[in-house]
Amino acid sequence: KTRPEVTKMVAASAIRASGHGFGNLLRGRKARGTVTFTLSALEQKALAGVGAKGLANMFRRLGENAPFVIPGIMSAFCVIHFGQEAFDNNLRKREADFANDQ
């Protein structure tokens, strides 16, 4: 448990450490001609535009990135397939090694 006095002292020292006071992000300058607004996460529509715009945008982006991604995937597949074939081939016994056995 923390004591309220200690919490207040830590918060006050953090505000003083910034040197500009709480909420003064522009360091004393006035922001003119700038309009900012925020929207609470509870007021936003979480799935806005997914059905109409989202799927079309996803397929468009996949089509744009396919020429860069597919060669890497294909080369990785070929290397892995070659390695598995070589491993399986090395597991087999060679008949020539056992030709002289009785």
Q: Provide the whole-model pTM.
A: 0.46
Q: Which residue has the higher pLDDT, 47 or 41?
A: 47
Angle (CA) 20 24 28, round 5°:
70
> What pLDDT shows up at residue 54?
86
Kindly report, residue by residue over 55-76, the tens digit of the pLDDT.
889 999 999 999 999 999 999 9
Percent of the chain with pLDDT over 70: 65
- Give the separation between CA 10 and CA 77, rounded to whole angstroms: 56
> What pLDDT shows up at residue 100?
82
